Structure 1
Amino acid sequence: MRRLLTALLACIGIIATALVAASPAYATVFQTYGSGVNVRADAYLSSPVVTTLPGPTSVDVDCQKEGDLVSNSDGSSRWWAHVPALGGYVTVVYVAIPEDKLPGVPECDDPEPPGEDVTLADVQAMFGSRIVNPSIVQTGLPSLNQAMRDANINTPYRKAAFLATLVHESRLEYNIREIGDTRPYGGRGFIQLTGDFNYGPAGQYFGIDLLGNPDLAMSLQWSAPIARWYWTVARNINPYADALDMGRVNAAIGYPAGTEDQRRCDSFKNAIRYFTGSVPSGIICTRPAPLAGDTSQLTRTQFDTLAKNGGGLG
């Protein structure tokens, strides 16, 4: 199909090379085919859909990158075309060329990612004045980096969501106690563990008596593992980060919807910009209605059910 379409386009003079003169200097024009072709925020099928092309469309492509394999009746391709005007990527399998990789188009130069471990300089660059006590943050970072490895928080989106959450919960200070909170099971540690309904299960998971010794939640030994436990056991938050759904990330942390959601979403964007060099389209900052209230005492199953009823992940 796409090889036949290529030949037809050549006959009527609208193939890519014929349109280059009318394109921006940085781009080459290609023609998509088919209807309902998705433009995604990145070159992966799990990436959010930025827009959908209703039919064959001329697209200005500045570079291409390898991503998820996409197949149709005409073939397969792992290459995705970056279309700046649309703010995303189109799979090459729906571009009307005979090849599975765009001819004459350079590969995208992804920014060099920061080192695997997050450093004090990294979080200061991401969050600025929110880092109030650099020496405490520095002390806690080795254990926090280990917790991130254990939780598979290993992509820019996951790291951005996790760190943006913690910088608002605790300023990334492992030993912080929620100011003015005198409750026995008030907020403590990186993720501000709150409530006997969390202290009890977290203590059971690690084999420690958090109900009898709640201050362990803000110790250097346990603060980061508890944050990892909440992120992956009490909740399953990585998939929301993968989907750029900061609304559901915030709901999963367990406070009612409000202006804080947007502040955290802005920090999420800052972190993604730092890790990747740009902010992708498709970031979701608001929550679905079923998650607008305080979800802190829901079980993981109850929360997952509400999250799906609110629209799911696509």
Structure 2
Amino acid sequence: MLKRRIRRLLIATLALTGLTAAGLVTAVPASAAVFNTYGTGVNVRADAYLSSPVVRTLPGPTSIDVDCQKYGDLVTVSGGSSRWWAHVPALGGYVTVAYVAIPEDKLPGVAECGGTNPPSGDITLAQVQAMFGTRIANPSLVETGLPSLNQAMRDANINTPYRKAAFLATLVHESRLEYNIREIGDTRLYGGRGYIQLTGDFNYGPAGRYFGIDLLGNPELARSLQWSAPIARWYWTVARNINPFADQLNMGKVNAAIGYPAGAEDQRRCDSFKNAIRVLTGSVPGGIICTRSKALSGDTSKLSRTQFDALTKVGGGLG
């Protein structure tokens, strides 16, 4: 494989200069592992996603002390590709493993990053059936998609009961938690597809650019097992910033962020949110907001994130 040959050559070259990881491990704490990057202009990002801010750029091959690694966006270079990112505390961010001089696509012997709020466990089929009952119409299909959906939740920091409940309650109403669903009767080229029912060229275009795929040219990718869950994560965290609304128990704002006009559906989704919290925690907290402010009562689907964020600041404590 070309990437492995290239990386092995780089490792051999680094060994001649005394910069191999094996020769430097003893110089750093036991909890860290030392690797070397290759190439020039390698970005260090604030998180494991290509949309994350660049905190610095490495001018050339650099020795990095890695404490953990995180599954994130795919990066493809001439030597190969990887979805894993090395967390380098001294640099204040993440470096794609695609630019680390190893033959593998994942750092050997390095733990996965737990984050400041480690996940409490993957969601199971039994849990979503308890949460949503007959809305889970195709259990085998839901179960097939759960590994990718759980990964997307980890990537999106959907790692608390409130966040999980808001995300799952939204998706069960959008798609019945079926990754490959197409909106019934919707014949539009960019009609609703996948977990989040991605709709409109104003979403297909940006989502495709974010992941480096041609969603405008091949919109069916939005309901593939490979991309349906990552696209839901993209919408939840990039097109919108929905986790904080879940933290506030504000399903009014969650529903507004999805983009449909206010109506009876808001209460149905809020009831599903409560059911999901009950399954995850054993009780339903007080203070859940199911309603929206007047500013958020219309169809907000075509608003930019900046425009939507501005509207959420109007209307006091309501959604």
TM-score, with length taken from structure 2:
0.62
Q: Who is 1:285 aligned against?
A: 290
Q: Give the counterpart letter for 1:298 in structure 2.
A: L
Alignment of 1:9-158 (within 5 A): 116-158=121-163
Structure 1 residue 312: deviation in Å?
A: 6.1
- Paired residue for 1:249? 254
1:306 aligns with 2:307: no
Which residue in the other structure is 1:209 paired with? 214
Tell me which residue corresponds to 1:269: 274
What displacement does 1:313 show?
8.5
Aligned residue identity for 1:175? N
Higher RCO (Cα < 8 Å, 6 or more apart) = 1
- Once the two structures are superposed, residues 134-162 of structure 1 have per-residue CA deviations (whole angstroms, 9 ceiling, x without a partner) of 11100000000000000000000000000
Counterpart Cα distance in 2 of 1:165 and 1:218? 16
Paired position in structure 2 for 1:234:
239
Counterpart secondary structure, 1:302: helix
Structure 1 runs of 4+ with >2 Å offset: 310-314
CA contact under 8 A between 1:216 and 1:222: conserved in structure 2? yes
Matched residue of 2:313: which SS?
A: helix
What is the TM-score of this pair, normalised by structure 1?
Answer: 0.63
1:5 alignment partner in structure 2: none
Kindly state the Cα deviation for residue 309 of structure 1 after the two structures are TM-superposed. Answer: 1.5
SS of the aligned residue for 2:232 comes to helix
Please state whether the residue corresponding to 1:309 is helix, strand or coil.
coil
Out of 169, 181, 184, which is 1:179 matched to? 184
Distance in 1 (CA, whole Å) between partners of 2:198 and 2:182 is: 10
Whole-angstrom CA distance in 2 between matches of 1:189 and 1:311: 33
Q: What is the DSSP-based 3-state SS (H/G/I as helix, E as strand, rest coil) of the residue aligned with 2:182?
A: coil
Is the CA contact (8 Å cut-off) linking 2:291 and 2:318 kept in structure 1? no
Once the two structures are superposed, residues 89-135 of structure 1 have per-residue CA deviations (whole angstroms, 9 ceiling, x without a partner) of xxxxxxxxxxxxxxxxxxxxxxxxx9600011110010000000011
Does the 8 Å CA contact 1:203/1:209 hold for their aligned counterparts?
A: yes
* CA distance in 1: counterparts of 2:246 and 2:120, whole angstroms: 20
Query: Would the aligned equivalents of 1:243 and 1:313 in 2 still touch at CA under 8 Å?
Result: no
- The number of equivalent residue pairs is 201
Whichever residue aligns with residue 237 of structure 1, its letter is I
1:190 to 171, 192, 195: 195
Report the counterpart of residue 159 of structure 1 in structure 2. 164
Residues of 2 paired with 1:115 and 1:306: CA distance?
A: 33
In the TM superposition, residue 311 of structure 1 has moved relative to its aligned partner by 2.4
Query: What displacement does 1:248 show?
Result: 0.3
